[in-house]
Amino acid sequence: MNIRLSILSLVFAFSGTLLTPTVNAAETTAAPRDASQLKIASGSALLMDLQTNKVIYSSNPDVIVPIASVSKLMTGLVVVEAHQNMDEWIDVDISHTPEMKGVFSRVKLRSELPRREMLLIALMSSENRAAASLAHHYPGGYAAFIAAMNAKAKALGMTSTHFVEPTGLSERNVSTARDLSKLLMAAQKHPILTELTTTKEKTVSFRKPNYTLGFRNTDHLVNKADWDIKITKTGFTNPAGHCLVLVTRMSNRPVALVILDAFGKYTHFADASRIRSWVETGRSTNVPAVAQQYKAEKNLKGRQSGVVEASK
């Protein structure tokens, strides 16, 4: 037995791959790879092992930033946990969401759609008018819905998160990568959120007046056969950059992945692929120079250092 233990000790000592720490070594689980081999374009990111609830990789995970339409995942969670009738027809009403002024939408004001379909297009296709309408038709009204979003964030331990509206159009909807991993963990417990956020495309039928519109998922990864995605939401505004949160599997383990403030239309998806490649092979592709420049100018690393110092 002693000989076997010695041999195993030598194997781990020389391989190092299972014991190499990630970016935030003090708080992470034993990492599968060397974090220095992973380069990402996003300003903030976090990868969590959902079997152990331990962080595998993180980069500036505690910086408070706008989260754009990732906000709609909390909108969906609040709607689902209110146990309202999903078959009830509700009208499109954005009167309580001033952020919607001047924002284009194909959805006609005052037309009607069942609550389930309204939730579908809010989550799958990030339809802002649908998200605002869900909040308007919440028990107690719009203000009660926003209060419920913040109460849920508090209940989940999302201490750096705050919402002022349900769509994510406001840059005052803020959170951190670490907080959003908690939101993902809560959302994955609801099968309806898995179904709606991962629907690839759907044509829905409105009434008053009668018309149909086709919608597609804003997360391109749901169309890729080699990605097993359980929950997902994207987001983009100029202040927030491109954002992506999802629950999937990497190296045969369930993980929650948060990517915030990435440059470019496809950079957040590329970062997800880089992180997955790093987990599964130990290697990742390089980050384009323009994305590196954007990341340097945002300087979330400097803000993360400030968060760490303040917490001491």
Task: Tell me the two tokens of residue 124.
Answer: 């799958």
Q: Is 105 a catalytic residue?
A: no
Is the separation of the CB atoms in 78 and 131 below 8 Å?
A: no
- Write down the catalytic residue from 59, 69, 175, 181: 69
Is the separation of the CB atoms in 31 and 57 below 8 Å?
A: yes
SS3 assignment, position 220: helix
Residue from 161, 134, 163 nearest 147 by CA = 163
Q: Is 126 a catalytic residue?
A: yes
Task: Tell me the two tokens of residue 244.
Answer: 């992506």
- Asked if the peptide bond before residue 114 counts as cis, ω within 30 degrees of 0, the response is no
DSSP state of 85: -
- Write down the catalytic residue from 58, 71, 72, 181: 72
- Write down the catalytic residue from 42, 58, 71, 126: 126
Is the separation of the CB atoms in 161 and 172 below 8 Å?
A: no
189 belongs to an annotated ligand binding site: no
Q: Is 170 a catalytic residue?
A: no
Active-site annotation, residues: 69, 72, 126
Residues of the binding site for substrate: 233
